[in-house]
Homo-oligomer: A and B are copies of this chain.
Amino acid sequence: MPPRVSTVEFRVRYAETDQMGVVYHANYLIWCEVGRTDHIRAAGTPYRDIERQGITLAVSEAAMRFHAPARYDDRIRVETVLSKVTSRTLVFDYVVSNADTGARLATVSTTLISLDPEGRVTAMPAALRAKLATVSSGAP
């Protein structure tokens, strides 16, 4: 089965625009984080709780392609999937679009690695990994 997709929507904030009159590109990484937070919560493992277990998930790689600009007050949709789960890494893929027109604005992929409190790469706890694998596999 394809991985589950979760969807979040929100409006562009004025602070997110720049003098080109469009959203500054770095903000898309923040929007993807909003999508990722929502996706992990939907998996039954709020990220806040993951950090309380002593695990942080840090972005180790990101790839972004920008297709069309977003503007102030546009309604934005972020669709997130967890496309890959290993013992130490997670790959999330995102499609950012205009919720009103459906126009695709950006496609983004981020790799996260699991770190212990000292910042060393570590395997995720088995229970966490199992929950995330379920979401990724698309199992109901």
Contact = CB atoms under 8 A, between A and B. Distances in A.
A16 B125 CA distance: 27
A48 interface: yes
Interface of A: 10-11, 13-15, 17-22, 24-27, 29-30, 33-34, 37, 46-48, 51, 56, 58-66, 69, 72-73, 119
Contacts of A61: 63-66
B19 A18 contact: yes
Nearest to A20: B56
Main secondary structure of the interface of A (DSSP, over half): mixed
B18 A59 contact: no
A29 B29 contact: yes
Interface centre among A51, A62, A64, A69 (most CB of B within 10 A): A62
Given A46-B73, A73-B46, A26 B20 contact: no
